[in-house]
Structure 1
Amino acid sequence: MYHPVKTFLLPCLLILFCCVSCNQNNHQDLSPSKKKYSMYILGKDGKEYLLETDSLNSGLVRPEDKGALLDGDIMDRDIIVHQGYYYHLSRKKASFEKYKLNGSKLILLAAMPLKDFSIENCNWISNDTLLLTGLNKSDYTQVKYISVNTAKMQQTAAGDINIARPSGKFTSVSIGFVELRKDKMLLGYTYNEQLSSSNYSTSDTTYVAAIKYPEMQLIKTDKDTRSTSPGGTNTIQSYSFNDEQGNYYFMSCPGIALGNRPELPTGIFRINAGQETIDKSYFFDISGSVIQNHAYGIWYLGNHKAIIRSERKDLFKGLSDHYSTAHFEFYVLDLLKKEIKKLDLPLDKGTRRECVIVKDNLAYIAVNSTLNGNYIWIYNMSNGTLKKGLQLAGDTDFILREDQLN
């Protein structure tokens, strides 16, 4: 039976519901985090957490109390942290996503489709422009790029980069670094050989391609055989930097945990300011120095000093316990004098980690110590002293990364 009151009320209620829903969406807090630092924690039971803090100098934090418990199916440690937001490629959904941390919850703010793409490196071109370089997921043989407007979460450019595909015994390519210099892009890479379903090795050559930017046209390719596996995935660990004069340094990583050519030395290369090829007169042989081991990760301190994180091959059996055994040491390098000084820190565990923040003449070094606990150690570059800072306790097993939020 027709009822004029009910017929009138139903559309009104629907309109009201839509207005309330739209109003809630419009008032969702999209602002970035105001905190200063974030940490990605792997717990003792395999749980993963993301937490934020304003200080690394002191105190104690338990991730299960202060952090957001993460869904391991959609989140991983290879997040990109920038100006209060978190960006991550969800492989399961083939989606590039933008998040913020709101107390104990990680909030998805926006997403864009990103299919057949595996991120190897990222570079911020401007505050809202992110250049992603990577490979096709089908067989990891084609170098690709995507430029993203992160304010709108929209793709602004994409395509293939004409790097020679692997051939012969080599089955894939890996990108180790990307450096932008005005209208040029320098891309470091090498080729990989699949030895078995779970093992691979690497070419004995480091390649550096000079590419016209933003046209992404290959100009020339430089080669160097003093070491291989230049850099690595910089969303997991840092491998390169510019000094005050604009000289670009990058580390090679031929150890068993990356290039798997351990007979070659871990070394530091340099590309001089204004140049597009490797400086053949410069090579800092880390493995041939007093360290006599391979290293993974390098962080610039300023004034031609840097910190590296080096393995101790006498303390682990192989790749099976490389991650779980505390055997890493930290060293300060003088890049010009090629001098090395060991830092008096506990042995660290975890193969690849983003574990150094440099700020205000201090280096905040995250150390996962089996015997002494998980702490942020503070290295004073002025006087060379070390002291304990923030402790990560409770469920913390590994501090996988620490980042500056703002």
Structure 2
Amino acid sequence: MIKLAHTKKRVWAIALAFAAVSLTATSCKNDDAPAIDDVVDPEFAVIVGTDNGRYMLPIEDLMRGVISPVGKGTNVSDILNWEENLMQKGRDIYHVNPEANKFGKYRFEDGVLKTIREIPFSQLPSLYLGWHAWLSDTELMFGARSNNYYAIVDVENMVVTKSGEFEKTGVPANHSRRVFSVIPQGSKLFLAYGLYNEETKIHYDKSYTAVIDYPSLSNLQVTGEDSRSAPLGTVRNSYFSNFHDNGYTYILTIPMPVLGGGKAAMPTAIYRVKDGESKLDPNYFFNISAQRGGDNQLGVTYIGNGKAMLISAHDTQTNIKEFNDWWYAAMWEYLIIDVNTQQVVKKLDFPLVGNSRSGVVHNGKAYIAVNDPKADGVYVWEYDSAADKLTRGARIDGADGDTPMLYRLK
């Protein structure tokens, strides 16, 4: 088992898509299909947790055959030992190792994960990450979970170019800022954050926004607050929570207990900020929970054309009986949303399944690893939003109960 919180590391997944027409489901014949041959230049990869470690495997075709870690792939248990700290750009994987105090760059090629370079890293007060943002193709910015600190790494030269604490403008005495999102906006960075009262130990039920000059990281200006939903962005770095579409960046709130901000009474919602602006659009608020009986959601992937896929925790008051149920209870539903119409346009035709935010998009189609406890394995499913069609693909064998994580490498 791979633990995800302080008591629980686990395989995680990632965010969001459509059309209110009938859904047809077809299946590939996988039961008798041979295992997939070795792939030299794969389009995709998967990390599978097994009883003997976590393995990263190359995959060329997600829609046929059987994917098995037996005798194949790279054991990444010690390389990527805290998967919430993983960040990806193409074939390159970046990871902060909180136990060894190092930042590493790795490349998945020739079917294996290779170490490019590792450097000492201890510039944050906690090495469990809450968010990251690409400032350019070579500049990666990230911050510790639920605090006000950041670091910027030049991933080409593998040097930490800047680190520290965001200016405390707008933070009252005896309070601290908790940053949840950083969005590049030209010569500025847009920050979404919360305020925590250090005396009462209360994190306020509000989302706050600010902008700061970049690259100087000075002149922080608070630009607004909103009490309809919080937190505005991720508590855990691995969670998909924002995407850009048609001149706007859309930001998902994650109030869900345990996996998010711990604000069960607040709805999951989407806000948006226009390119170049410093404030949230005051006329836009997409309340997703209101359309799903109060359920909270996590992101899976952005599909395109304003459509995204979420996974929704259904009726947690009934389905959550112990802490681990947040990961392993069969209570999750896949939803397709449209941020233009502000509608949940479809629930994909699955039974209630295990927690999974594992998803990639290729040629306009979404591929998700579906952890149905009643199935004979974890299957990859393809959702074609244009045709509104759901098709079963490859079977992933050998998983230890956590949902395998898919990656697109090209």
Do these two structures clear the TM 0.5 threshold for a shared fold by scoring above it? yes
Aligned residue for 1:89? Answer: 96
Give, in whole Å, the separation in 2 of the partners of 1:361 and 1:103.
26
**1:158 equivalenced with 2:163 (yes/no):** yes
Aligned residue for 2:349? Answer: 344
CA deviation map 1:15-46 (0-9, x unaligned)? xxxxxxxxxxxxxxxxxx84222222222x37
* Contact 1:240–1:299 under 8 Å retained in 2: no
Q: Name the TM-score, length of structure 1 as normaliser.
A: 0.81
The AA in structure 1 aligned to 2:73 is G
Report the CA distance shift for 1:363/1:221 in structure 2 as closer, same or farther (over 3 A).
same
Question: How far is the alpha carbon of 1:329 from its aligned partner?
Answer: 0.5
Which of 277, 290, 302 is the matching residue for 2:304?
A: 302
Report the CA distance shift for 1:168/1:59 in structure 2 as closer, same or farther (over 3 A).
farther
- 1:119-268 alignment, distance < 5 Å: 119-134=129-144, 141=147, 143-163=148-168, 173-192=177-196, 202-217=203-218, 218-233=220-235, 235-243=237-245, 245-257=246-258, 258-268=260-270
CA deviation map 1:239-269 (0-9, x unaligned)? 11111x2211111111212111111111111
Query: If you compute each CA radius of gyration, which structure gives the higher value, 1 or 2?
Result: 1
Aligned residue for 2:336? Answer: 332
Which of 366, 383, 388 is the matching residue for 2:392?
A: 388
* Contact 2:123–2:163 under 8 Å retained in 1: no
- Does the residue aligned with 1:369 lie in a helix, a strand or coil? coil
Runs of at least 5 residues in structure 1 that lack an aligned partner in the other structure:
1-32
Aligned CA RMSD, in angstroms, stands at 2.7
Which of 319, 322, 325 is the matching residue for 1:321?
A: 325
* Contact 2:382–2:391 under 8 Å retained in 1: yes
Give, in whole Å, the separation in 1 of the partners of 2:199 and 2:372.
33
**1:52 equivalenced with 2:52 (yes/no):** no
The AA in structure 2 aligned to 1:281 is N
Runs of at least 5 residues in structure 2 that lack an aligned partner in the other structure:
1-39
Q: Which has the higher contact order (CA 8 A, sep 6+)?
A: 2
Aligned length: 361
The AA in structure 2 aligned to 1:63 is P
- Does the residue aligned with 1:65 lie in a helix, a strand or coil? coil
Percent identity, aligned pairs only, is: 25
CA deviation map 1:91-136 (0-9, x unaligned)? 112110112346686432211221142332222233322222336x
Report the CA distance shift for 1:264/1:81 in structure 2 as closer, same or farther (over 3 A).
same
Question: How far is the alpha carbon of 1:339 from its aligned partner?
Answer: 2.0
- 1:64-103 alignment, distance < 5 Å: 64-72=70-78, 75-78=81-84, 79-101=86-108
* Contact 2:267–2:294 under 8 Å retained in 1: no
Q: Name the TM-score, length of structure 2 as normaliser.
A: 0.80
* Contact 2:91–2:109 under 8 Å retained in 1: no
